[in-house]
Every structure is written in structure tokens, then in C-alpha cells.
Amino acid sequence: MGKTKQGVMKNATTIEKIMALSPREFEKSIAAFAGAHVPVVDGRASIALGTEGQIAEIVFEPLPPRRVGGLLDLPQARVSIVMPNVASELQSDFLRRFDIAFQRGGG
């Protein structure tokens, strides 16, 4: 999944993750997470949170690839999740489901 950084800014919680993820993998994982196609425009996707009309904005920002063992380049991205005015319980549930949807195999 990658490294996670959490911050709170002006009634919005922003979670930042550094993930080994290509743009195509991001789009596929967002659709799997939402259970339907989600438009990704300029690296941004919006997903409904619960039933009260709240929206999480998820932003994909490509980073330089990470070289592993001198032989393999892994795609890398900063993924930011912005949740304005969302109760902490709803945030926790959203992030748990997000992490599950974006899990990759590995050891």
C-alpha cells in the first residue's frame, strides 16, 4: 500500500499515501472500490461517502518510478484523499475499504 501521512486542514481531513500504482491501476482500483465506473479527470475522482451527500476527493499524482534491485522500475504515485466535514467513524470506514480495494499481493 505504501506510506501514509494524515493531516487536518480547515474542516477537511487529508490523507496522503505514497503507493506503487500506475494511472491505469488507479482507475481500475477506484472502480473496484466504488463498485462502478468512476470518472477520473486530471487524476481526480470523487466518491460519495455514506448517504448524507458528502464527497471524498481522491487525487492521483504520478511520481518518478522507484528502482528495485537495479533491475525493476515500479510506478509510484502520491494519492491524496480529502474528506471535508466527515465524521471520524465514516472516515475510518472509508479508509479501511479504500485500503482493501487497493491491496496488492506480496510478502
Residue 64, pLDDT > 90, answer yes
Q: Is 4 in contact with 78 (CB distance < 8 Å)?
A: no
pTM of the model: 0.81
Domains of the chain: 3-101 (3.30.1370.80)
Residues 78-106 have pLDDT tens digits of: 999 999 888 888 889 999 999 988 887 65
Average per-residue pLDDT in the chain?
85
Closest C-alpha among 19, 13, 6, 5 to residue 103: 19
Q: Is 59 in contact with 95 (CB distance < 8 Å)?
A: no
d(CA 78, CA 36): 23
